Structure 1
């Protein structure tokens, strides 16, 4: 069972549609490369087959994740506890720096957002999950332990 937000699930469903739509394109590339003749030294053919394998593996991975997913938006959660999908304002204890963090099922890699994305599998996400407002969490980083105070759950 994998917990994810409704946004995460929609993202995966859209990604799955894109990957499925690529199937005919990859099949056409394979057919065109096969028509060129000798397959032993046909780099286009081997590249297209490799793309097909990676595409199919990603389709299976996403289908499995969606099959085993539980959308956390549908769960009853206390307002003062951090759960998946929550955006949290935190203060680093040593520096007094404040930042926003969003606990997501899968990071998008978009660094233009107004917050940092963290997943429950990361050290920050693991410490943040189920933390309460006012609590100080400890995060094991490559530079040592850092402490953060959970100031508020923004959304």
Structure 2
């Protein structure tokens, strides 16, 4: 497991394959959680490089902390790293083969972060059903979704106008 920190203001040279997939989520996070200065992502950083760049582009001014994991067995160590680093939120990368929406690793990550009062956001309905506080993106059909139970558990606000699951 390796921790990689990116600053969203850094110049990102390659056009990501998932350009725009995180724009709506970035806007929802900035509007709903305006004091959110650091967002963490747990993923296979090399396999999810384009998604990480797209997320960084969607969150200008926010520090992006990437915890690189190569398999589900490393997610526990990632949670420990996040516990000591204290991000303001965690974003699930839908297509990540390790901790993407719908995976058992994502469920584990969401539960542990909720226990630490750190909300999770996603781009799919599945991620919101798993316990992400909010979700919007290609996997929600563009609808802003929220999980009031997860918001209550983490103490996070839910976006105005969100469809609650």
Question: Does TM, normalized by the shorter one, top 0.5?
Answer: no
* TM-score, structure 1 normalization: 0.26
Larger Rg: 1
* TM-score, structure 2 normalization: 0.25
